[in-house]
Structure 1
């Protein structure tokens, strides 16, 4: 019980201490090995049909961060953070189903019959699916892995800020990203030079409803 209490307290520290940090210590460099470990932990996040359509473009070269700066509307964290991680959604992510479910078979999580059935269903659902539907799935899954990455980083003593303030078209052009990928967000990753400012939240009682939406907020 004591161990569980300690683990819960540590988790609460992570989620309560996380802030959107915009001022980074440019002298702090995070190794590619550690960034890779953080991404591996982040990808434990859930995704639709476990297809994991997220892809990551890690920008840690200083010249490339300088190239990104005007595309991200000159937000200083782009060049001061150790890295900027672009969260992308793969419109063809469903094609990895064979690899994913073969690994599940090898791990003993399912048999070949179940694997074949799942892959058949996925191919039939995704092969002719509207691009907008696949985009919406990728946006949800990308948001899940992005949040997990930010918490993983905080648990390791690093800071982050999710960034929607950039020009997606110019970003894709500058970094040679094809239309196979949807840009979801950028995440600056590094060590805070100044702490992120505290914020407030709406009272959960005001935004939570049980079993049905009251007439006053349902639009009826």
Structure 2
């Protein structure tokens, strides 16, 4: 049976940041994996995909995260917390990514070698803060894509940047190269999200 989805515009308008989840509702790990797989079709800088995910469903782990996340209720009542982590040493994956692209027939040998050489000249020599900025930008792209996919499948989300990132990294034994960037609570809403307005388009847009 073909799964039917709402039009993209409808999904965009329906997605709201939910903060009250049904704590009894659980989403199977396999379903979350499918959504993450789709989300990773998001673009990234030089296709280096510097995102990593930690899917947190263990109740004790969620309570621990709540402690250093301003005690936000959704940390504990959501079905899962998706931690989006940035790999600031994304250049370690250059060969694997580009040679996979070659194997898939998306590029020829001459151009793949040129791309590998260019990426290896640029990314390892870039300042650490520049690489963090790149990872954070790309994490935003994959996070938004994940939240829209979740909404299209009937789930609710809220992204959170307000948490103690150093404490999170310590709790999950992250290497220095990995930077916690955003937490996405995922589940079924137990109460409607608050509505919100946006600035008028003419205030934020110009045509030249």
TM-score (normalised: structure 1): 0.90
For the residue of structure 2 that corresponds to 1:24, the secondary structure is coil
Tell me how large the CA RMSD over aligned residues is. Answer: 1.3
Q: What residue ranges of structure 1 are gaps of 5+ in the alignment? A: 1-5, 212-220
Runs of 4+ in structure 1 over 2 Å off: none
Distance in 2, matches of 1:160 and 1:53, equals 22
For the residue of structure 2 that corresponds to 1:88, the secondary structure is strand
1:140 maps to what in 2?
A: 137
Q: Is the 8 A contact 2:169 2:179 kept in 1?
A: no
2:47 maps to what in 1?
A: 50
Q: What is the aligned length?
A: 205
- Residue by residue over 1:69-110, the C-alpha shift from the partner in whole angstroms, topping out at 9 and shown as x without a partner, is 111111110010011011111011122121111121111110
For the residue of structure 1 that corresponds to 2:7, the secondary structure is helix
Q: Is the 8 A contact 2:75 2:185 kept in 1?
A: yes
Distance in 2, matches of 1:152 and 1:120, equals 35
Q: What residue ranges of structure 2 are gaps of 5+ in the alignment? A: none
1:3 maps to what in 2?
A: none
1:12 maps to what in 2?
A: 9
Rg (Cα) greater in structure = 1
Tell me whether 1:129 sits opposite 2:129 in the alignment.
no
Distance in 1, matches of 2:81 and 2:190, equals 16
2:35 maps to what in 1?
A: 38
- Residue by residue over 1:50-73, the C-alpha shift from the partner in whole angstroms, topping out at 9 and shown as x without a partner, is 110011111111111111111111
Q: Which has the higher helix share?
A: 1
For the residue of structure 1 that corresponds to 2:151, the secondary structure is helix
